[in-house]
Amino acid sequence: TTIVNRIAAGEVVKRPANALKEMLENSLDAEASLIQVVVKDGGMKLLQIQDNGFGIAKDDLSVVCERFTTSKLETFDDLKSICTYGFRGEALSSISHIAHVTIVTKTDDERCGYKVSYADGKMKGIPVPCGVNRGTQITVENMFYNVPTRHRMLKNFNEEFSRIRDVVARYAIHNANVGFSLKKYGRDDVHVKTLANSTCVDNIRSIYGNVIARDLMEAKETDETLQLKFHILSTSLDYHAPQLTFLLFINHRLVDAEGLRKELDLLYGLYLPVGTHPFIYISLEMAPENVDVNVHPTKHSVFYLHEEAINKKIRLTIQQLILGKQG
């Protein structure tokens, strides 16, 4: 049976890291090759993301923060084959209802850029011309200023920052062609830094520290019967790393899959020496109609056809990789 992880669509943005994930996906949808994130107070005070993507047309600025405004869905049939990250047009709208949002953007078609602020989904005033390069900068300030209970719950800025770092790190590893950086506001130290056109392994090393080269294993395969393409990269990290680091992307979306994570944790426990810190990155690509991304607005949880068979395939592949190394 397919594990159905349907969470009633409720709050889209629960914490700064959720907002950031949505904004990163928007920048990637806009074909950015450089994405820079700046954060203050764990993203609660300030969360700013700058990209060099194709920008937002001036005429669209009045509606981007309205609910269900999306440039990514033309017909209902498109819902069945969503190839971009976004499709609901709920993210920016939700964010603008719980924070102060300012957008500065420029497309190739316009001679200058435009700056505009939003509150509760509505544009404040009219876009002001400004001189900027192609791309989009979105600044989110004072998150949950109007939701006191949530504001009170998110007091641990270090915790929020580490969640943000995690999201940036994971997207950076999956999108090795794109350069990412993460900084704290007013500080010089870089918490995530990857170059455009680097490799997955370079990025794992620069983000998670020492990669134990002899444990590096990789498989790229296509399975016709399961209509599945997958890329598995597994290694181990030094003792500084968490016990298990597991990244799963399905059709380029970062998702949670607690079931698969546990299965792999067990598998590694069986084969690897005690004290190993495995790192597993898996990217699955399958026919869009086989994946239900329309589960939860934050899109962390997805469920997919043939889940059990696919998980088994992944387990067997990893087992073979490990045994191949040991044999």
By the rule CB under 6 A, 12 interacts with ligand ADP: no
| Stretch binding Mg ion (CB under 5 A), from 46-54, 80-88, 116-124, 260-268 | 80-88
- Kindly state the tokens that stand for 9: 């669509």
**Sheet with 277-286, side-by-side order of all strands:** 211-223, 228-237, 277-286, 245-250, 253-254
What residues contact 208, with CB distance under 8 A and at least 6 apart? 169, 237, 241, 245, 279
By the rule CB under 5 A, 96 interacts with Mg ion: no
Minimum distance between the CB of residue 66 and ligand ADP, rounded to whole angstroms?
9
Q: Which of residues 37-96 bind ligand ADP (CB under 6 A)?
A: 51, 53, 55-56, 64, 69-72, 86-93
Amino acid letter for position 102 = T
Q: Please, are residues 249 and 264 in contact by the beta-carbon 8 Å criterion?
A: no
Q: Which of residues 113-152 bind ligand ADP (CB under 6 A)?
A: 136
By the rule CB under 5 A, 53 interacts with Mg ion: no
* Strand ranges for 56-205 from DSSP E: 100-106, 113-119, 122-130, 135-141, 179-184, 190-193
Minimum distance between the CB of residue 69 and ligand ADP, rounded to whole angstroms?
6
* Strand ranges for the chain from DSSP E: 34-40, 46-51, 100-106, 113-119, 122-130, 135-141, 179-184, 190-193, 211-223, 228-237, 245-250, 253-254, 277-286, 291-292, 303-304
Q: Please, are residues 33 and 177 in contact by the beta-carbon 8 Å criterion?
A: yes
By the rule CB under 5 A, 93 interacts with Mg ion: no
How many residues lie near ligand ADP (CB under 6 A)?
22
In angstroms, rounded to a whole number, what is the distance separating the alpha carbons of residues 27 and 34? Answer: 9
By the rule CB under 5 A, 135 interacts with Mg ion: no
Choose among Mg ion, ligand ADP, none what residue 27 binds, the Cβ cut-off being 5 to 8 Å by kind: ligand ADP
Which listed residue (16, 18, 22, 37) binds ligand ADP by CB under 6 A?
22
Choose among ligand ADP, Mg ion, none what residue 72 binds, the Cβ cut-off being 5 to 8 Å by kind: ligand ADP
Minimum distance between the CB of residue 129 and ligand ADP, rounded to whole angstroms?
18
By the rule CB under 6 A, 157 interacts with ligand ADP: no
Q: Which residues bind ligand ADP (CB under 6 A)?
A: 22, 26-27, 30, 51, 53, 55-56, 64, 69-72, 86-93, 136
Q: Which residues bind Mg ion (CB under 5 A)?
A: 26, 86, 91
